[in-house]
Amino acid sequence: MKTFFSALALGLFALPAMAREVNDADLVSKGEYLSRAGDCVACHTAKGGKPFAGGLPMETPIGIIYSTNITPDKETGIGSYSYEDFDKAVRHGVAKSGSTLYPAMPYPSYASVTETDMRALYAYFMQGVEPVPQANLDSEIPWPLSMRWPLAIWRTLFAPKVADFQPTPGQDPIITRGAYLVEGLGHCGACHTPRAITMQEKALSPADGDEFLAGSAPLEGWIAKNLRGDHKDGLGSWSEEQLVQFFKTGRTPNTAVFGGMTDVVEHSLQYMTDADLIAMARYLKSLPAKDPNDKPFQADVRIAEALWKGDDSARGAAIYVDNCAACHRTDGQGYERVFPALAGNPVLQTDDPTSLIHIVLSGGTLPGLNHAPSTIVMPPFGWRLTDEQVADVISFIRTSWGNQGTPVAAKAVAKLRNNGNRTTSGTDIGWVSGSAEAAAATHH
């Protein structure tokens, strides 16, 4: 009997502690999921480095900055941060030291993350991440631009008030969930919303106007595309189902992920629940077109017919047949799930052709993912085609089969090829110029 009672007593005493551990484990695991949704790992991990230990170089208009160590290491990471310190950094953009963070940290987006989610994130970063002692790197921004006090002014002017996300009354709760993820942790606007001359995003939500998620200027050699309802260069031709497939597998029947978005799918989106992916997709599909005159894609068979008849006299057509048509086909339709369609593809119809030039020069890798294990690579063509040839073939695909893009000049190709752009994702353009100096210059 004694034994029984002791066991019972021990059991009783153990209960609260166990319950707390279980709750903590749940909270840590929820925080891990939210950190995936926020894609913290993408910026806070250097190529080949330990997760969250920082050190990834990021190009800003005033110079290179490096992401910081956010592992719970007490000396070099955020191990000494209280919840309040953590919240101040993530949602308010102010480090524990009191200095304002560079807005490369998307705290204007994170301002709407709920406190409940913030507490889960904190639990994860304190208890679920391995501490890594690794000192932060100084930025390469020259004085006087390196002074941080103007950032505080910038923050006061442009960062929104920190407040838990507020649902729009009467909205479909699925769309509301999507809005919370896209506008908040997903910080999609950080890349996909154009920025003003003063570098703030022109809109942080649909309420701020039709610039929200309307596509960016080139960043690290890529355009972050328009995510609004435009058919020409947005998501007008995409179905909700296709968006979910894209988030989960990096591929749809017609297209494949490339550039900076590859990391987002690889490190963040593929881990999210179907419910959250559907919510994000439905929310994005609820955004109207930016261009009031936007029209659906109209297929034009003339180019395909000419190529079938052996007429490759159009500018760039012969280069297309020799280099591209085996996979993308003379009718620009590609092959389902393996080789993207070019006809009607919004990426080909953006006003700024940077992404397209980048892909033709340096190729693209669709990575193997949890739900779609095959890696499919478009080889680079920069070693093989001159600036003039690249411009010709890009002009051809931007204007064929009904595509509404505009022709491209050779100097636009030369500019991208020679600027030694350093990218945090995909292949650095510097490699394709073929010069050792350019390669060395882009890889410290």
Partner 1 sequence: MATSMKKADAVIVGFGWAGAIMAKELTEAGLNVVALERGPMQDTYPEGSYPQVIDELTYNIRRKLFQDISKETVTIRHGVNDVALPNRQLGAFLPGNGVGGAGVHWSGVHFRVDPVELRMRSHYEERYGKKFIPEGMTIQDFGVTYEELEPYFDFAEKVFGTSGTAWTINGKNVGEGKGGNPFAPDRSTDFPLVAQKNTISAQLFQKAATEVGYHPYNLPSANTSGPYTNPYGAQMGPCNFCGFCSGYVCYMYSKASPNLNILPALKQEPKFELRTNAYVLRVNLDSDKRRATGVTYVDAQGQEIEQPADLVILSAFQFHNVRLMLLSGIGKPYDPKTGEGVVGKNFAYQNMATIKAYFDKDAHHTNPFIGAGGNGVAVDDFNADNFDHGPHGFVGGSPFWVNQAGTRPIAGINNPPGTPEWGSQWKAAAADYYTHQLSMDAHGAHQSYRDNYLDLDPTYKDAYGQPLLRMTFDWKENDLRMTQFMVEKMKKIAEAMNPKALKVSVKGAGSHFNTASYQTTHLNGGAIMGTDPKTSAVNKYLQSWDVPNVFVPGASAFPQGLGYNPTGLVAALTYWSARAIREQYLKNPGPLVQA
Taking the complex as a whole, the smallest distance from the CB of residue 339 to partner 1 amounts, in Å, to 6
Known binder of ligand: residue 191?
yes
The residue to which tokens 């208890």 are assigned = 127
**Token output for 275:** 């419910």
Number of residues this chain uses to bind partner 1 (CB under 8 A): 20
**Cβ 238 to partner 1, closest distance in Å?**
20
Q: Which is nearer to partner 1, 187 or 337 (CB)?
A: 337
Torsion sign over Cα 175, 178, 184, 187: negative
Tell me whether residue 183 or residue 266 sits nearer to partner 1 (CB atom): 266
Size of the chain, expressed as the number of residues it contains: 444
Tokens at 169, concatenated: 């009354």
The token pair at 247 is 């988030």
Strand, coil or helix: what is 156? helix
Say if residues 299 and 344 touch (Cβ distance below 8 Å): yes
74, 302, 371, 443: which one binds partner 1 (CB under 8 A): 371
**Closest approach of partner 1 to the CB of residue 368, in Å:** 5
**371 is annotated as contributing to ligand binding:** no
Q: Is there a binding annotation on residue 327?
A: yes
Find the shortest distance in angstroms from Cβ 241 to partner 1. Answer: 17
Q: What's the min distance (Å) between Cβ of 372 and partner 1?
A: 6
Task: Round to whole Å and give the CA distance between 413 and 415.
Answer: 5
Measured from the CB atom, the residue of 72 and 334 that comes closer to partner 1 is: 334
Among 116, 168, 239, 370, binds partner 1 (CB under 8 A): 370
Please state the closest distance from residue 360 (CB atom) to partner 1, in A: 13
What's the min distance (Å) between Cβ of 374 and partner 1?
4
Per DSSP, the three-state class of 49 is coil
- Cβ proximity of 399 and 406 under 8 Å: yes
Place of tokens 């950032």: 151
Nearer to partner 1, 86 or 339 (CB): 339
For the chain, helix (H) and strand (E) counts, in that order, are 18, 4
444 annotated binding-site participant: no
Is 443 marked as binding a ligand? no
What CA–CA distance (Å, rounded) separates 34 from 271? 10
Annotation-wise, does 358 bind a ligand?
no
Given a contact cutoff of 8 angstroms between Cβ atoms, the answer to whether 366 and 250 are in contact is: yes
Decide: 255 and 355 in contact? Cβ < 8 Å: no
Taking CB under 8 A as the criterion, the residue among 113, 284, 372, 438 binding partner 1 is: 372
> Does the annotation list 187 as a binding residue?
no
Q: Is residue 292 within the footprint of partner 1 (CB under 8 A)?
A: no
**Contacts (CB under 8 A) with partner 1, residues 316-355:** 323, 326-327, 335-339
Q: Please give the Cα distance from 86 to 68 (Å, whole number).
A: 13
Nearer to partner 1, 225 or 251 (CB): 251
Nearer to partner 1, 186 or 382 (CB): 382
Query: 32: left (phi > 0), else alpha (psi -120 to 50), else beta?
Result: alpha
Q: Would you list which residues are annotated within the binding site for heme c?
A: 40, 43-44, 188, 191-192, 324, 327-328
Q: Give the binding site for partner 1 (CB under 8 A).
A: 323, 326-327, 335-339, 365, 368, 370-377, 379, 384
